[in-house]
Chain A
Amino acid sequence: MTKILIVEDNEMNRDMLTRRLQRHGFEICTAIDGASGISAAESEMPDLILMDVALGEMDGWEATTHIKANPRTVKIPIITLTAHALSSDHRKSLEVGCVDFDTKPVDMQRLLGKINNALTAHAAG
């Protein structure tokens, strides 16, 4: 079963994403901040990470940089979730090495498409 790590500090968003993705057959593990996200990436070795950008102390981009710096976790595809589409956040996401980005609130069909693309590309690469 495909395992997805959700790094999200807001309890409701975490709960919502977990349940909706579980319904689509994913195995979900969660982390509540950047630091625990980095350690969970290494301990859980998920197939994909959904990374919230606004995480408080350490933001999603910084956590991504750490995960990409670790040889064990460097290959895990990461999709960032940003609050709003108009800003430049998507650019920064790609710059720090994320494979894609999406905006909240999540449109499940769109997110599923992005997850599948990322997993396919990862399997191929």
Chain B
Amino acid sequence: MNFSTSKLTTALDRAVDWFIPASLAADKDLRKQARLFLISHLMGPFIGNTVPLSLYLFDPTPSWDIAILSLSITGFWVFPFILKAIGHYHTLALISIQNLMFCILWSCYFYGGVTSPTLPWVLTIPLLAFFYIGDSARLRYIVLAMFGANFVAFGLLSYFVSPPEHGMPVAALQGLGIVSTVAAAAYVTMMAVYYARALASQVELEAVMRHQRTTAQHLRIAAVEADRASKAKAEFLAKMSHELRTPLNAVIGYSQMLLEEAEDTGDFEDVPDIERIHAAGAHLLRLVNNVLDLSKIEAGHMDLYIEDFCLETVLRTAVEEARGQADTNGNTLNVTVEPGIPMVHGDQMKTQAVISNVVQNAAKYTQNGRVDVTCRHIALAAGDAMRIEVRDTGIGIDADDLPNIFEQFAVVDDETSTKYGGTGVGLALTRELCRMMSGTIEAASVRGKGSTFAITLPMVMSERRREAAPLHTILALEKSLYPEGKDPQGSFSDVSQKVA
């Protein structure tokens, strides 16, 4: 039998839960008892009233005692409302058990005493008492005492005061016995089924909880494993970075030395080849550095280092780094800085890397065109920010590719990559660096016409002017701003919300 799909049981469940006061709902055992109590009280009077009804029909001279019995049984319907209104569950349960005993013994007294057809109902008393009060020993003793007191009371009553004669025929008594027994059995069955269902759902719930506990345990283990793997990866990368850069430094350094020597001796025969070695080495080093930086950011091993610096100097340095590339491609490279850009408070190295990456990209992907770099101060809701725009007249990016250019290893196409030497790491790193600094980078482009990259970095204006800016002074100032051991990152994130 599948009760859970039945609309009736669902509605009944809802009705039952509606009556449970908040004070009971919190306790798992109390809630279960209250549910049994409520189902018994909501359904009980329907089944129970079959007895007074059949008495009324079978009895040739029905009397007021039947009305009392029916009233008493119908009175069970009041209990759920009292429970909902004032609580006091256990007191209500005891009163209800008392009422039940009264109903049964009352009908027995009037109809046949110890041979009464309503006697099977006595069996429901301990059953319901068990459902209502659970395993509380104190309440069980009270119920037992009540049971005894009621028997004694009705025993004495029937001993001293004989019940009135109804003169019911034997056949009527037999019919009454059948109705009463069937009703009592139906009542007990209903309660047993409901109890079994509650038990089953509880077992199910516990199984789910056990399963979730196991899952949580697995997740904890996985998290520890992942953390260990991440640490191992970071360590490996740190070691690799040194191992990769050392030979690359030699390749780049020696090729540069050969170029310098050629300059001195005037023997330019091998210069184009050496230049290729040098460019390839520099390219590889940049790639290695970018990949390592990305990994560091992803592993959370890169922090912000906040200092005062002159943004204009950083901007011009970054632009100058791309000058060679721009010259090679026959581009003009212009810088416009809004007058009065003050000293700013931020991560100098990362700011420079971000600008440098974008300007070098522009210089790389533009042939015989121009690259314009502008820098101006803008006011955001969160505070001051610097907007650096890099506009080129280069090959541009297709609208379809534009959303993906900041993804790792996204080079527009293989042909572009071969021709221009893109690796698909630079922009991904640039975006990550911008995010670290709570900034953004956006791109707009038209294929064949050119691209514009706009970097917005929140920057706190430093109070000091740029005249007094030797590095030692900055360091001294920073020490006074950030007392020993305090991570400057914290004070930076006060100013603007940190992204990712």
Contacts and interface: CB of A to CB of B under 8 A. Distances in A.
Given A54-B242, A85-B349, A91 B305 contact: yes
A105 B279 CA distance: 13
A10 interface: yes
A94 interface: yes
Contact of A104 (B245, B264, B303, B307): B245
Interface string A57-98: 000000000000000000000000001111110110011000
B59 interface: no
B254 interface: yes
Nearest to A11: B250
B313 to A, nearest CB: 14
Size range of the chain B interface in the assembly:
20 to 34
Given A23-B260, A94-B475, A108-B260, A13 B249 contact: yes
Contact of B307 (A13, A23, A91): A91
Interface in B216-248: 241-242, 245-246, 248
A88 B436 CA distance: 15
Interface in B332-390: 349-350, 352-353
A105 B264 contact: no
A100 B307 CA distance: 16
Interface in B310-337: none
Nearest to B297: A86
A50 B280 CA distance: 27
Interface in B268-314: 282, 285, 289, 292-293, 302-303, 305, 307
29 contacts: A10-B246, A12-B246, A12-B249, A12-B253, A12-B254, A13-B250, A16-B254, A19-B257, A20-B256, A20-B257, A23-B260, A83-B242, A83-B245, A84-B241, A84-B245, A85-B352, A86-B293, A86-B302, A86-B350, A88-B303, A91-B307, A94-B471, A94-B472, A94-B475, A95-B475, A104-B245, A105-B285, A108-B256, A108-B260
Nearest to B282: A105
B252 interface: yes
A105 B248 CA distance: 8
Contacts of A87: 302, 349
Nearest to B470: A121
Contacts of B249: 10, 12-13, 104-105
A106 interface: yes
Contacts of B352: 85
Contacts, number: 67
B253 A105 contact: yes
Contact of B250 (A16, A19, A23, A83): A16
Nearest to B471: A94
Given A20-B257, A105-B252, A105-B285, A86 B353 contact: yes
Contact of B257 (A16, A85, A95, A100): A16
Given A13-B246, A86-B353, A88-B303, A106 B289 contact: no
Contacts of B248: 105
B394 to A, nearest CB: 26
State the 4 A-B residue pairs at the shortest beta-carbon distance, nearest first.
A12-B250, A105-B252, A16-B253, A105-B249
A106 B260 CA distance: 13
Nearest to B301: A87
A2 to B, nearest CB: 19
B426 to A, nearest CB: 13
A20 B307 CA distance: 33
Interface string A1-18: 000000000101100110
B398 to A, nearest CB: 31
B100 to A, nearest CB: 80
Contacts of B471: 94, 100
Contacts of A106: 253
Contacts of B253: 12-13, 16-17, 20, 105-106
Nearest to A84: B289
Contacts of B245: 83-84, 104
A19 B307 CA distance: 36
Contacts of A16: 250, 253-254, 257
